[in-house]
Structure 1
Amino acid sequence: MTTPQLVDSHCHLDFPDFDEERADVVARAVEVGVTRMVTICTRLRLEPQVRAIAERFKNVYYAAGTHPMSATDEPLATVDELVGLAEHRKFVGIGETGLDYHYTADSKDIQQQSLRVHIDAARETGLPLIIHARSADDDMARILREGFDNGAYTCVMHCFSSSAELAKAALDMGFYLSMSGIAAFPKSQELRDIFMAAPVDRVLVETDSPYLAPPPFRGKRNEPAYTAHTARVGAEVYGLSYKDFAAQTTANFDRLFWKASP
């Protein structure tokens, strides 16, 4: 009996948490059916290291951008810089970028400037924008919509844990919501309800590892293999078998992340 295949659409394999056993981490993921992973670069100066991981493992792809919490520490990305990176065959997405007013509201102006650059690069390359959004729902919806009105682009709201209003705004533009371990936490019923109201053909799964491990690993280091635990909760949310939910989210990933599609 074949194991249903899943994709971890967002992880951070370059983080030092994985330095001692990166190959084992990738192998454990593949063993449980997580056959592809997208590792995310959050500071463009680290792009060569992240790219090297994608080049080392045939089932690992990568994306790069400036994380909003790093926006003041890093040079402002340019559209040309991001478009140039996109020429690599395993570079599949723009970001993560976005807005985070929870910890870094004082840098919101530069965050917004950076986000607009990434939107322009996503539109120009045809690659999906990867959005981090925290405590900034109104500005997030407004800037995404302004960018979309200037020319359509595709996008995933990574590790979605924002409001139903932001979910609706994103879905109305044809964007995707990504389900992380947060959706599997016992107290996250409100978030599960938001996903339940979203079309199942617009949902991805991810770990955001090494963060946000789902039960039964909550509080421990997360890793791509644990995508399977979040997907089991996702299947329950949609009233699907694990096999069907895995197949659906994989098809969704292939549609959005077309460069990583087999």
Structure 2
Amino acid sequence: MTEDAFVAHRGLLFTVAYEMLGSAADAEDVLQESWLRWADVDRTRVRDPRAYLVRTVTRQALNRLRSLARSRAEYVGEWLPEPLLTSPDVAEDVELAESVSIAMLTVLETLGPTERAVFVLREVFELPYGEIAQAVGKSAAAVRQIARRAREHVAARRPRTRVSPAEQRAVVERFLAALRTGRVRELMEVLAPDVVLVADGGGLAGAAPAPVQGAEPVARLLARPDRVVSAVWLNGSPAGRVELAGRSAAVSLVVENGRITRIHAVANPEKLTRLDEPAELAR
């Protein structure tokens, strides 16, 4: 048993930390802290390196999540997860793609730290309740109750319908084409009447300070003909990248019944540093 166990499971460990934190930068910090602990462990006493490492990363991520609570409460404007460039292959694992989507990560932000950890470990990574109990410092019975509450909480807030990758891609392509024209009417045709746009500028880039609702207000906000629009894969789904006056934004979309119901636009430059190389995500 060598340090290769950490390397071999790095994609999984990063995914666990990222889903718990919604931030790739914080996830990397958690992995560094976990690696330092792993380096000091007597490997001969570790029977299951994968389980041991997941527990370690979970504990470090919980500590980080609790320490971040205040800074996120003081964040300027709307806070959205940090988008990741992913390869189209990630979409082939439908459950993984859904779990790392910006929409899901935004829902997970409404859970408490322990609830979030339990939900991620159980629903995404399918860990036994006993292992999760060890990771979060609760009894298995308590973890079962927490998991049930978290499932109900997430189910009430996640997108109502699941669309096929082909439909998602087709609607996103229509939206990006309309965005390139900058015409209000064409944008409205692909937006649901009650569409909501949430933008994250972090006080460092121009962004709507509060969610914007309604097809016409959203379309008018987006109607700019002088931007460069490209298709990308973000967090396991087709998405867009927008360049305007030297600034960038990553645009993630929720599709239901053939139209876009929610737009997450991240313009904070500190959250756009991982859009050049696909992230390694794994379950």
| TM-score normalised by length of structure 1 | 0.26
Q: Which has the larger radius of gyration?
A: 2
Higher RCO (Cα < 8 Å, 6 or more apart): 2
